[in-house]
Amino acid sequence: MADKIILNERLVKTVTLPQSGATLEVYASLTVGDLQGFNPEDTGFDNAIKVLPRIIKSWNIFASESDEKPKEINETTISELPVQDLTHLMGEIEAFAAAQKKT
């Protein structure tokens, strides 16, 4: 029998967003499920908003100081990020994924 393959083991990177200062943990790779809703005819931002909720593992973005749980990671909350943060995050994810391919 061949070696055991563990499919759910994904590398994680911590990213700090420049404008908001939020800290996120993101996965280095995509799964087939992560690409659900991806449309090659949409803009990069449209696809990012659809895919990012599936590759952000966690973040420290809260609705208010009194909240004990971070905001849910979904398309709506991703859409609330400043554009500078979104472009920085996408660049960090792409660089992280590319570095993993080289190893």
For residues 23 and 60, is the Cβ–Cβ distance under 8 A? Answer: yes
| 102 pLDDT more than 90 | no
Structurally, the chain folds into a number of domains equal to 1
Least confident interval from 5-14, 57-66, 78-87: 5-14
Q: Mean pLDDT across the stretch 13-20?
A: 94
| 28 pLDDT more than 70 | yes
Tell me, yes or no, whether 5 lies in a domain. no
Tell me, yes or no, whether 6 lies in a domain. no
Tell me, yes or no, whether 95 lies in a domain. yes
Q: Mean pLDDT across the stretch 73-83?
A: 94
pLDDT of residue 81: 93
Q: Considering the chain, what is the average pLDDT of its residues?
A: 85
Sign of the dihedral defined by the CA atoms of residues 91, 94, 98, 100, in that order: positive
Eight-class DSSP state of 12: E
| Cβ density class 20-48: b for 16+ within 10 Å, e for less | bebebebbbeeeeebeeeeeeeeeeeebb
| 19 pLDDT more than 80 | yes
Q: How far is CA 23 from CA 39, 45, 46, 62, in A?
A: 28, 20, 22, 11
Pull the structure tokens for residue 55: 């590759």
Least confident interval from 14-18, 20-24, 37-41, 85-89: 37-41
Tell me, yes or no, whether 3 lies in a domain. no
Pull the structure tokens for residue 48: 């990012």
Tell me, yes or no, whether 44 lies in a domain. yes
What's the one-letter identity of residue 17?
L
Q: d(Cα 83, Cα 72) in Å, to the nearest integer?
A: 19
Tell me, yes or no, whether 1 lies in a domain. no
Tell me, yes or no, whether 96 lies in a domain. yes
* Residues of the domain holding 64: 12-102
Pull the structure tokens for residue 63: 């609705």
